[in-house]
Chain A
Amino acid sequence: MTRLASDHTASPLIFEMGQEGRANRYVDPGAPLTDFLPREVLREDLPLPDNSELDVVRHFTRLSQRTFGIDVGFYPLGSCTMKYNPRVNDAMANLHGLRDLHPYTPDELSQGALQIMYELERTFCNLFGMAAFSLNPSAGAHAELAALLIAKAYFNDRGEGHRDKVIVPDTAHGTNPASAAMCGFKVISLKSDDRGRVSVDELKKVLGSDTAVCMMTNPNTLGLFEDHIHEITKAVHDVGGLMYYDGANANALMGNARPGDMGFDLMHLNTHKTFTIPHGGGGAGHGPVGVAAHLVDFLPTPYVSSRTKPNSNQAHSPSDRLEFFLDFNRPKSIGPMRLFWSNFAHAVRALAYIYANGAEGLTKVSQLAVLNANYIRVKVREFLDTPYDEICRHEFVASAQELKKNTGVRALDLAKALLDRGFMAPTMYFPLIVPECLMIEPTETESKETLDSFIDALREIVESAKSDPDSILSAPQHTVVGRLDETRAARQPDLRWYPVNE
């Protein structure tokens, strides 16, 4: 086996390291287990490795060196909003009074935590034009599921349980149809028009008395604003359906336009995108679900409510006059989506970010995100096709189809060559309607210099693809491993280590 020269960071599996008895002593042990429990309920063996703390620290340090994050380099991953995650947010989540507060602590001893959730919820309502938000769901897809359960409960409550069609544009995120299926809805896919938007005429053809929800993201995944949104929401409302806003792309309009004003009845936010919660390698996320006034009763439980304190007076500030509580008494609620109340540590991070920006700052954030995306777009179209050639929002798509025809180099190859040059790859092959698609979202936290260096790298890669395609087809060459044999991984799944004697 040949190891690459750069692979000095490899660390064996932890199970192939260590010796029994080598671990540091972290807590004082109790008496033998058999003093407390009958042998028949105890496990015979605990087949785990013992390692010294230093070995474990080195192990994870090496693993981190083999991992790319925003802190390592530019992360233009479309639809993922990989912006800088301010460290103060983590420090706040780590304050003793927030980190060590047990979820079953009585409300009167958790007022700080409840106020954080209350303020965050009120801010979201204001920013996005909704009547109420629940911070209960754990991620965007989870919130989407919550929203569709709310829609289902709402229709059942109105005696319109027959509504079973969910309309999803073909540019939608894959979660949309998957969430709909989890609520027993049938999915109707809607073809985009040649401007990359939902066609109002096509939409009207599928609308009817069986329409439950139309799910849209705006701007859509092509980075284009759905400029007929007003007519779309009206058409859906006219047949008694609900409009759902997929907030995955909320970074594009925060502070400048509001889903509520567009006529959306339900929405979710990916707080881990727009509000700088670290992605952490794929979670934990945070997915508030927001609703218009007619749907508030159906929100998941508990809902953070407030009431005036019995002994308060005008001398107190408005927030000091209030006391906050977890409201479980909501008979029409769809129920809880998860264990306990919220991914609270993330609510802390999101609110810290809102404080850092204020209304003006948040408005500026989305403007600069759009500025950065358009700046890359006008440069990239000099050497790659941009099939929807107009002002985009926070992201845009380019296509390598022509390049592939002429050189055999695909979007995937360009992406792998970017890895070699110290950049994360853009999102590829999504949305599905653009062939050889590269979806680029720079976010607002990147400087012009970073954008220029990315543009230069991509330009150089495209030029190399034309002059020396093999150099790109064989990328990446400077990463710790080369391209993976994914077929082998899927045909002979090896999903864990086994002890030698098994």
Chain B
Amino acid sequence: MYTPHTEKDVKEMLAAIGVPSLERLVEVPEPVRLRERLDIVPALSEAGIVSRFEHFAKKNTGASYVSFLGAGAYRHYVPPAIGALAMRGEFLTAYTPYQAEVSQGYLQAIYEWQTYICLLTGLDIANASVYDGATALAEAAIMALNANGRKRVLVSHAIHPMYRSVLKTYCDGLDISIEELPITDEGVTDFNELRERLQSKQYACLAVQSPNFFGNIDTPDDTAARVCRETGTVLIGVVAEALSLAALTPPAQWGAEIVAGEAQSFGVPVAYGGPYVGFIAANKDHLRRIPGRLVGKTVDVHGNEAFVLTLQAREQHIRRERATSNICTNQAHCALIATMYLELLGKTGLHDVASANLERSRQLATRVSSLKGCSLEFAAPFFNEIVVNVHRPASPVLAQLQQRGVLGGVDLGRYYPEYSDCILMAATELTTSRDIEVLCSALEDALRVTSVEKAENDTVSV
């Protein structure tokens, strides 16, 4: 219990109010009174709480496995300085900085975050963050729909399947249809029929993710970007692994007008899926359509430079049903963590992490593809994820790896039935050579066992 009231306090306060009891104070009309006894755990002491959660934590054995899971959530090194700074109570327990005079610190941090996102993506403006990368894509598509008033959305089939699902949830609400561009054998978006599709000028936007869900660098070529421009189709760049921005061509340079992304990689723990932090950056033309909060620099009455939430008239609390989005919360504290990460790592550190990711993932690719029965599915340049074809259903292979203490990656068949023999594997700077050896040895065993099973199954089916 975190209530400081003594019995004496309660008595005095009730007397001041002129009500005889606490129960009377919260009384509700007869028809809606609580009739059922609440069936909730009895209260625990703080030590009891800790022991309960340690028990839960221990049951999550997967947290300690050798892991090659990525696919939109990445394990990266987090400097302890972030924990120390981010947990400062002033940051942790602040509300949205509406009272700018007593929120200058947080406002400045968000202004710095907005700047980092602009510098990384190459675009003009960025908001104070949105829920996550998937909702960022949905909000970016809505920006495009509002920009040109069209009713159809075109996305690459190589965008993270969950991003596409969330986009669909949002679009269903607005009765907007989504269509997809296919993937080539190289594992990148097929832009061949783009001109024909866009000619009708019916698509509000084209969304492309790079690196795409398979880890491949997947940017539209100059022709594709030009077709988008000429047909007034907003080109949306999607970034699910923000670290890639430290190494790869900024999306603005390949023609993205809006970038929707996920910045979990910048110091935010994987935490079984959240909270993470989405971002939206855009060129100036979209200023009035960008959803969520924006921090701007201005002056105070004394002429001091100061920061303030601005362009609030776009937002739900003023526009109500005319608002560009209903979002109020951003992911301020996660964005703060990401800003701390970027400031600590700096240009040099980020470059180091990016090069380490490239190196480890290539080491992984080389070793795994040297195993008998394994090959790389795609030949396209990749960032830190690869697709490994095990030439038999991937699901039992992954189960075998699991029995050997290894989380081998994501079963691609879960989202792409045509790739059900493939595993999506990620390697980051935290992936050691030993991890890769443990995986390879487990994979050799797993392949042996599953090939036997496969042979038996074949016999039965014959």
Confirm or deny: A195 has a beta carbon within 8 angstroms of a beta carbon on chain B.
no
A281 pairs with B217, CB closer than 8 A = no
19 A-B pairs with C-beta separation under 8 A: A26-B353, A48-B116, A48-B342, A57-B81, A63-B104, A77-B95, A98-B63, A110-B272, A112-B58, A142-B131, A142-B327, A229-B29, A252-B26, A280-B92, A280-B93, A284-B332, A339-B134, A424-B99, A481-B302
A338 pairs with B330, CB closer than 8 A = no
CB-CB under 8 A from A261, the residues of chain B are 32-35
Confirm or deny: B169 has a beta carbon within 8 angstroms of a beta carbon on chain A.
yes
Confirm or deny: B377 has a beta carbon within 8 angstroms of a beta carbon on chain A.
no
B77 pairs with A27, CB closer than 8 A = yes
Among B43, B104, B277, chain A packs the most CB atoms within 10 A around the CB of B104
Q: Taking CB as reference atom, which chain A residue is nearest B306?
A: A481
Binary flags per residue of B164-184, CB closer than 8 Å to A gives 1, else 0:
011011101111000000000
B172 pairs with A334, CB closer than 8 A = yes
B105 pairs with A53, CB closer than 8 A = no
Confirm or deny: A141 has a beta carbon within 8 angstroms of a beta carbon on chain B.
yes
CB-CB under 8 A from B141, the residues of chain A are none
Among B46, B95, B269, chain A packs the most CB atoms within 10 A around the CB of B95
Confirm or deny: A293 has a beta carbon within 8 angstroms of a beta carbon on chain B.
no
A95 pairs with B57, CB closer than 8 A = yes
Chain-B contact segment, one of A80-88, A203-211, A306-314, A399-407? A80-88
A27 pairs with B356, CB closer than 8 A = yes
Q: Taking CB as reference atom, which chain B residue is nearest A252?
A: B26
User: Known contacts being A358-B43, A481-B104, is A257 close to B28, with CB within 8 Å?
Assistant: yes
A151 to B336 alpha-carbon distance, docked (Å):
35
CB-CB under 8 A from A295, the residues of chain B are none
* A200 CB to nearest B CB, Å: 13
B89 pairs with A72, CB closer than 8 A = yes
A360 to B40 alpha-carbon distance, docked (Å):
9
Which one of A14, A41, A365, A372 contacts B219 once the chains associate, using CB atoms below 8 Å?
A41
* A108 CB to nearest B CB, Å: 8
B53 pairs with A92, CB closer than 8 A = yes
Binary flags per residue of B272-306, CB closer than 8 Å to A gives 1, else 0:
11111110000000010000011111111111111
A337 to B29 alpha-carbon distance, docked (Å):
36
Q: Given known contacts A30-B355, A37-B248, A257-B28, what 9 new A-B pairs fall within 8 Å (CB)? A: A2-B304, A142-B135, A152-B172, A184-B173, A283-B275, A345-B274, A352-B53, A361-B1, A368-B10
Binary flags per residue of A411-430, CB closer than 8 Å to B gives 1, else 0:
00001100100001100001
A29 pairs with B26, CB closer than 8 A = no
CB-CB under 8 A from B269, the residues of chain A are 99-100, 345
A13 to B91 alpha-carbon distance, docked (Å):
18
B12 pairs with A46, CB closer than 8 A = no
Binary flags per residue of A1-21, CB closer than 8 Å to B gives 1, else 0:
111100101010111001011
A285 pairs with B329, CB closer than 8 A = yes
A340 pairs with B4, CB closer than 8 A = no
B41 pairs with A355, CB closer than 8 A = yes
Kindly identify, within residues 169 to 223 of chain A, every residue whose CB is under 8 Å from any CB belonging to chain B: 173-184, 187
Binary flags per residue of A103-128, CB closer than 8 Å to B gives 1, else 0:
11110011111011001000100110
Q: Taking CB as reference atom, which chain B residue is nearest A181?
A: B321
A85 pairs with B93, CB closer than 8 A = yes
Per the CB 8 Å criterion, the residue count for chain B at the interface is: 199
Binary flags per residue of A470-500, CB closer than 8 Å to B gives 1, else 0:
0000001001111111101110011111010
* B57 CB to nearest A CB, Å: 3
Confirm or deny: B204 has a beta carbon within 8 angstroms of a beta carbon on chain A.
no
User: Known contacts being A48-B346, A75-B95, A257-B33, is A97 close to B57, with CB within 8 Å?
Assistant: yes
CB-CB under 8 A from A20, the residues of chain B are 347-348
A94 to B270 alpha-carbon distance, docked (Å):
11
A70 pairs with B93, CB closer than 8 A = yes
Confirm or deny: B352 has a beta carbon within 8 angstroms of a beta carbon on chain A.
yes
CB-CB under 8 A from B128, the residues of chain A are 282
Confirm or deny: A330 has a beta carbon within 8 angstroms of a beta carbon on chain B.
no
Confirm or deny: B369 has a beta carbon within 8 angstroms of a beta carbon on chain A.
no
Confirm or deny: A446 has a beta carbon within 8 angstroms of a beta carbon on chain B.
yes
B321 pairs with A149, CB closer than 8 A = no
Q: Taking CB as reference atom, which chain A residue is nearest B305?
A: A1
Confirm or deny: B200 has a beta carbon within 8 angstroms of a beta carbon on chain A.
no
* B272 CB to nearest A CB, Å: 4
Binary flags per residue of B253-279, CB closer than 8 Å to A gives 1, else 0:
100000000100000011111111110
User: Known contacts being A27-B352, A46-B347, A358-B42, is A493 close to B310, with CB within 8 Å?
Assistant: yes
A102 pairs with B346, CB closer than 8 A = no
Confirm or deny: A356 has a beta carbon within 8 angstroms of a beta carbon on chain B.
yes
Confirm or deny: B349 has a beta carbon within 8 angstroms of a beta carbon on chain A.
yes
A81 to B115 alpha-carbon distance, docked (Å):
31
Confirm or deny: A227 has a beta carbon within 8 angstroms of a beta carbon on chain B.
yes
A283 pairs with B50, CB closer than 8 A = no
A355 to B43 alpha-carbon distance, docked (Å):
5
Confirm or deny: B308 has a beta carbon within 8 angstroms of a beta carbon on chain A.
yes
B323 pairs with A181, CB closer than 8 A = yes
CB-CB under 8 A from B169, the residues of chain A are 149, 300, 334-337
* A321 CB to nearest B CB, Å: 14
B69 pairs with A72, CB closer than 8 A = no
A53 pairs with B272, CB closer than 8 A = no
CB-CB under 8 A from B274, the residues of chain A are 103, 138, 284, 338-346
B31 pairs with A230, CB closer than 8 A = yes
Confirm or deny: A331 has a beta carbon within 8 angstroms of a beta carbon on chain B.
no
Confirm or deny: B102 has a beta carbon within 8 angstroms of a beta carbon on chain A.
yes
Confirm or deny: A354 has a beta carbon within 8 angstroms of a beta carbon on chain B.
yes
Confirm or deny: A440 has a beta carbon within 8 angstroms of a beta carbon on chain B.
no
User: Known contacts being A23-B344, A36-B362, A145-B326, is A187 close to B28, with CB within 8 Å?
Assistant: no
